[in-house]
């Protein structure tokens, strides 16, 4: 069966081909009566607009790029953060009749491909996720002129508008809670120093201790369970008398619980543990984990809304509050 054409719709509605084109491309300049006639003809004939041709006219693709600067193995690991963001972005875009294009450049060649793809206007905008400080891609994408929004505070010299959780405030609440429960030697397991979440959560930890007579003691992690276990073992070696640890995410906190159990330390009797994120598994660790809940889904949705509004740089970033969730590990 021959596919209905734009001309056939125009003949059925009794208008010009140009008028039909304006209606199907969403123009607001068409008389409502004429618009109704055109849409009725579209429905009666079963006309399906040619999206490729329409994008050439409107310069819109209906697609948004989600650029995750991590290897696929990390994105699809046991860390639920990435999948939560991808799901929330997809749902928010679907509600706006748009689709997500997931890109995971983890090599210079991959970054170059993403830059060419965006510069070719194959997407209408870009959301950046999991940026690292030395990554040249954010600056390259900003130079394309395509709207760019960052999920998370940017740490590079490229500064697109961004949405984030209050990582500093959440870390402060965690450490203040440990002090309030009588802990005196509080250590930290940090995130990567080239990522804003790692930097900001460490800053919150240090801000609280700077106002006390407690010294800070930190070990580096990379947001994985294994790094949390290794960092906890190192902290115990550096200060066997420590009685609390703040881990910059829940996976590292779970690794710390394993290392403490292996070292014969009881939680929370000997060492209290606080994480960050409030992933589902935090309720089922042994003991259930005290943690800082961050609004992962809400931040992702806010980033989409910011981008769909045009990606213009707002006067202030969108920073959403966190919440301390107290369980049995403190």
Residue 249 has a pLDDT of 98
Nearest to 183 by CA among 204, 212, 219, 218: 212
Distance (Å, whole) CA 249 – CA 174: 12
Q: How far is residue 126's CA from residue 65's CA, in Å, rounded to a whole number? A: 5
Taking the CA atoms of the chain, what radius of gyration do you get in angstroms?
A: 25
The pLDDT tens digits of the residues spanning 128-164 come to 999 998 888 999 998 888 899 999 999 888 788 999 9
Q: What is the mean pLDDT of the chain?
A: 90
DSSP 8-class letter at 185: S
Cβ neighbourhood burial of 234 (10 Å; 0-12, 13-18, 19+): middle
Residue reference for tokens 């703040």: 246
Q: What is the pLDDT of residues 182-202, one digit of tens each?
A: 999 999 999 999 999 999 999
Same CATH fold assignment for domains 6-58 and 167-293: no
Distance CA 143, CA 152 (A): 20
Q: Counting Cβ atoms within 10 Å, is residue 87 exposed (0-12), middle (13-18) or buried (19+)? A: middle
pLDDT at 95 over 50: yes
Q: Is the pLDDT of residue 123 over 90?
A: yes
Distances (CA, A) of 5 to 34, 42, 69, 143: 18, 10, 43, 39
What are all long-range contacts of 110-116, with beta carbons under 8 Å and residues at least 24 apart?
111/135, 111/136, 111/137, 111/140, 114/65, 114/67, 114/141, 115/140, 115/141, 115/144
Reported confidence tier of residue 50, pLDDT bands at 50, 70, 90: low
Q: Which residue has the tokens 């990435």?
A: 82
For residue 126, which of 78, 82, 161 has the smallest C-alpha distance? 161
Cα distance between residue 257 and residue 275, in whole Å: 10
Least confident range of 66-75, 161-170, 190-199, 258-267: 66-75
CATH number of 63-165+297-320: 3.40.50.2300
Distance CA 35, CA 120 (A): 33
Q: How would residue 315 be classed by pLDDT, with cut points 50, 70 and 90?
A: very low
- Scanning the chain, the segments in alpha helix (DSSP H) are 6-13, 17-24, 32-45, 51-58, 72-75, 80-95, 108-119, 137-143, 167-180, 196-210, 225-238, 250-262, 296-308
pTM to 2 decimals? 0.81
Banded pLDDT at 18 (limits 50, 70, 90): confident
> Of 12-21, 186-195, 242-251, which range is least confident?
12-21
Q: How confident is the model at residue 28 (pLDDT cuts 50, 70, 90)?
A: low
CATH no., domain 6-58: 1.10.260.40
C-alpha 30/C-alpha 26 separation (Å) is: 9
Measured between alpha carbons, how far is 37 from 9 in angstroms, rounded to an integer? Answer: 10
Question: Taking 80 as the threshold, does the pLDDT of residue 303 lie above it?
Answer: yes
Domains of the chain: which residue ranges? 6-58, 63-165+297-320, 167-293
Domain spanning 167-293: CATH 3.40.50.2300? yes
């Amino acid at each position: 069966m021959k596919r209905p054409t734009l001309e056939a719709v125009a003949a059925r509605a009794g208008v010009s081909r140009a008028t039909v084109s304006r209606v199907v491309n969403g123009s607001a300049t068409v008389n409502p009566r004429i618009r109704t006639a055109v849409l009725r003809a579209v429905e009666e004939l079963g006309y399906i607009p040619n999206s490729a041709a329409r994008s050439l006219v409107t310069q819109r693709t209906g697609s948004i790029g989600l650029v995750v600067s991590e290897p696929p193995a990390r994105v699809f690991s046991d860390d639920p953060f990435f999948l939560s963001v991808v799901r929330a972005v997809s749902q928010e875009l679907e509600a706006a009749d748009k689709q997500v294009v997931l890109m995971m450049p983890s090599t210079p060649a991959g970054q170059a491909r993403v830059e060419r793809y965006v510069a070719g206007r194959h997407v209408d905008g870009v959301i950046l996720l999991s940026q690292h400080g030395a990554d040249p891609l954010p600056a390259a994408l900003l130079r394309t002129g395509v709207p760019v929004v960052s999920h998370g505070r940017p740490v590079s010299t490229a500064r697109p508008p961004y949405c984030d959780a209050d990582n500093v405030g959440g870390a402060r609440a965690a450490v203040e809670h440990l002090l309030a429960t009588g802990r005196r030697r509080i250590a930290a397991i940090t995130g990567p120093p080239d990522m804003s979440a790692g930097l900001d959560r460490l800053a919150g930890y240090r801000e609280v201790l700077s106002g006390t007579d407690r010294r800070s003691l930190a070990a580096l992690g990379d947001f994985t369970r294994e790094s949390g276990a290794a960092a906890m073992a190192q902290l115990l070696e550096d200060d066997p008398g420590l009685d609390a640890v703040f881990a910059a995410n829940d996976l590292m906190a779970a690794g710390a619980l394993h290392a403490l159990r292996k070292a014969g330390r009881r939680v929370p009797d000997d060492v209290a543990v606080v994480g960050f994120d409030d992933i589902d598994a935090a309720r089922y660790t042994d003991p259930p984990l005290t943690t800082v809940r961050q609004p992962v889904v809400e931040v992702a949705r806010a980033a989409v809304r910011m981008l769909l509004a045009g990606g213009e740089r707002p006067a202030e970033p969108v920073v959403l509050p966190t919440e301390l969730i107290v369980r049995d590990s403190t």
